[in-house]
Amino acid sequence: MYRQAVILLFIAATALAADPPDINAHVVLPDLKLHPSLKDSNVNVQAPLLDSGTQAELPNSGAQAPTAIPDAREEMSDSGDEEPLPDLGAPNWKCDPAVMAKSKEVPKSVHSVRFADIKVVAALGDSQSAGNGANSSKLTSLRTEYRGLAFAIGGDTTLDEHITIPNILRKFNPDLFGYSNGAGVWNEWNVSRLNMAVPGSEAKDMIVQAQRLVEVLRTRPEVNITDDWKLVHIFVGGNDVCQYCHDWRKGRKSAHGPDTYKANLVKAIQYLKDNLPRTIVSLTGMINIEVLRPVDKHNLVCKGLHFFYECNCEFQKRKTRKVCFDYMEVQREIQDQGIFDSSDDFAFVIQPFTYGIERPPLTDEGRPDLRFFAPDCFHFSKFGHSNFAKHLWNNMVQRVGAKSTSVELSNVNSPLLCPPKNCPLFPTKKNSRNCKKYLTPSKLDV
């Protein structure tokens, strides 16, 4: 068995890296230095987004963007001879019509926004938000970014077949704009849309992604940047933790401590606040990456991949756990300190369901449920994206101060919740304390 694992690891190494990869880069990492057109944040320049099927040089990168990749909806698995990969949908899901209705008039306050009032969705993040490996059954296709399957921003198929936040929101507003379809890189417009996530990104890269997002929104005729209510998801931190631990192992002072992580997040969110009116930023909480340890225990190939080619930080148990929880703490500080509470057209909310997750999803026999993971046992599979999206949504509809801080990922049959009838608004700090103050009539009200 050991010999077989070594052979498989050698094959994986050949497939994953022509050059030795950076320890924190799960896949090829484009240079994220500021694009020249973004040096002046007030410059309104067309972003270098591609139509599907064309090539263009990535900003400040020596590589070229790959040509269009087949739509993930059509590529059910990496080989036509294989069984389709498992997925998780919510067939025939619906809520009370009063909960799903739009406001009678477009809300002026962020604290009065109903879920159906959201017109635009976007995402910043790393390879999880880019959907790396989500529809892969082979290690050789882990580089493929299946953005249409990504939990927070994917729009492939429908909610009946695959759970994502946009697929849920389209039940409330069929005209939702910005979600990703298919597979491709961040600047491939027909695929990515408003998904700015780049594999390998850290918190310091969120400012560049935020600038790119604003640049795109200023140029898209489908978006009224002043009047449309926008929901921007952020999920980042795994690469920061890996780099922090890598620095620690090398005896170096790290630039990835919790205070720096916090400062980088605040910088990006502040940029969004300054440049995107009528916006809600939803931060998916940091997850303790130590939950991967039981997966590695049962899979030598994944253990080898994580040690040599992905994040070997998980093997430093105490150090990993501490920095993950330190990141969680500074995320809470951003919300609790009210840094972004000064405006009625912008809100920042943490979805903390990840904070208490202490183990990976398990089978009935108590072994890690590998349906949740791509072949590297690190990235989410499309089944994992669906399960994660369900718990994210359920957190989103809970009021601030009463959100779940732990979920059981093994329970794939847990229901998809509806917004509460007595307060069908997108929960913010203020309307969570006093919903009646901000509740305005819906289109169904006489």
Closest CA to 376 of 16, 1, 41, 93: 16
CA distances from 215 to 43, 194, 287, 342 (A): 8, 11, 30, 24
107 CB-near residues (< 8 Å, 6+ apart): 113, 114, 117, 229, 440
| Token pair belonging to 360 | 């990976």
Alpha-carbon distance of 138 to 376, in angstroms, equals 9
Q: Give catalytic status of residue 442 as yes or no.
A: no
> What are the φ/ψ torsions at residue 50 (nearest 5 degrees)?
-105, 145
| Token pair belonging to 252 | 């170096």
Catalytic residue among 87, 205, 240, 326: 240
Q: Is the dihedral of CA 418, 420, 425, 426 positive or negative?
A: negative
Is-contact 91 408, C-beta < 8 A? no
Q: Give catalytic status of residue 52 as yes or no.
A: no
Alpha-carbon distance of 212 to 268, in angstroms, equals 11
3-state secondary structure of 48: coil
433 CB-near residues (< 8 Å, 6+ apart): 401
Q: Give catalytic status of residue 343 as yes or no.
A: no
Alpha-carbon distance of 235 to 128, in angstroms, equals 8
Is-contact 164 386, C-beta < 8 A? yes
Alpha-carbon distance of 244 to 326, in angstroms, equals 12
Place of tokens 């080898």: 304
3-state secondary structure of 326: helix
User: Angle, nearest 10°, between helix axes 238-249 and 317-336?
Assistant: 130
Catalytic residue among 103, 127, 282, 381: 127
Q: H/E/C letters for each residue in 191-235?
A: HHCCECCCCCCCHHHHHHHHHHHHHHHCCCCCCCCCCCEEEEEEE
Catalytic residue among 111, 162, 233, 379: 379
Alpha-carbon distance of 377 to 296, in angstroms, equals 8
228 CB-near residues (< 8 Å, 6+ apart): 119, 120, 278
Task: Return the active site residues.
Answer: 127, 240, 379
